[in-house]
């Protein structure tokens, strides 16, 4: 009986391992279970953590495009002050206006003899305006 069983096992083994059966088995597997397509960019690009980071970066770029950072405002406070000063609607400050108003305003300045210059200097007690001519040939 044992001999008969061994004979049967050997026959089955030989049948299954025959080249024809192996070829048919491979063809069947290829037909019914095709190999999963490998991502073109490799397994790293498909990682969930990378996808999360990619979505985050895209969202950040979108936000920056909508609200670009003004580098001058951030890095240079002096420019902020300038911007406020040239504002079209500055906050009125009567006290500041009164103190900053020049005591002398030049409405007209000219000469037939040479170039002219005007300048003002504030002293502790008074503001002085100077008008000066540089006569040609002098």
Partner 1 sequence: MLKKLTASICLLALLLIPSMTQAQNSNRMIVTMVVASNNGSDFNMDNDAYRDKLTQLFSYSSYVQSDLKKLDMALGETQNLALLEGYNLSLTLKEDTGSSIVARAVITKDNKNYIDTELSIAKPGIFFMGGPTLSTGDLILILENGY
In the list 35, 42, 94, 110, the residue contacting partner 1 (rule: CB under 8 A) is: 110
Out of 32, 65, 71, 107, the residue judged to bind partner 1 by CB under 8 A:
107
Tell me: does residue 135 bind partner 1 (CB under 8 A): yes
Q: What is the DSSP letter of 34?
A: P
| Interacting positions 76-105 with partner 1 (CB under 8 A) | 103-105
Distance CA 73, CA 76 (A): 6
Residue 17 DSSP one-character state: T
CB of 116 to partner 1, least distance (A): 7
d(CA 102, CA 86): 18
Angle (nearest 5°) at CA 51 between 50 and 57: 85
Asked if 106 is part of the footprint of partner 1 (rule: CB under 8 A), the reply reads: yes
- Residue number with CB closer to partner 1 (23 or 117): 117
Kindly state the tokens that stand for 136: 């040609």
Taking CB under 8 A as the rule, does residue 71 contact partner 1? no
Give residues with Cβ within 8 angstroms of 103, minimum separation 6: 126, 127, 129
Q: Kindly list the residues in this chain that would bind partner 1 in the complex (CB under 8 A).
A: 103-114, 116, 118, 121, 123, 126, 128-135, 138
């Amino acid at each position: 009986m044992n001999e008969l069983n061994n004979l049967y096992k050997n026959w089955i083994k030989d049948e299954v391992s025959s080249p024809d059966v192996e070829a048919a088995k491979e063809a069947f597997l290829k037909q019914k279970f095709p190999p999963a397509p490998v991502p073109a960019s490799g397994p790293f690009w498909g990682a969930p953590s990378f996808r999360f980071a990619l979505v985050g970066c895209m969202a950040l770029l979108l936000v920056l495009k909508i609200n670009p950072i003004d580098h001058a405002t951030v890095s240079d406070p002096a420019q902020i002050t300038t911007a406020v000063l040239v504002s079209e609607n500055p906050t009125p400050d009567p006290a500041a206006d009164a103190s900053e108003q020049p005591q002398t305003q030049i409405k007209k300045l000219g000469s037939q003899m040479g170039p002219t210059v005007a300048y003002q200097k504030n002293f502790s007690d008074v503001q002085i305006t100077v008008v000066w001519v540089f006569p040609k040939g002098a």
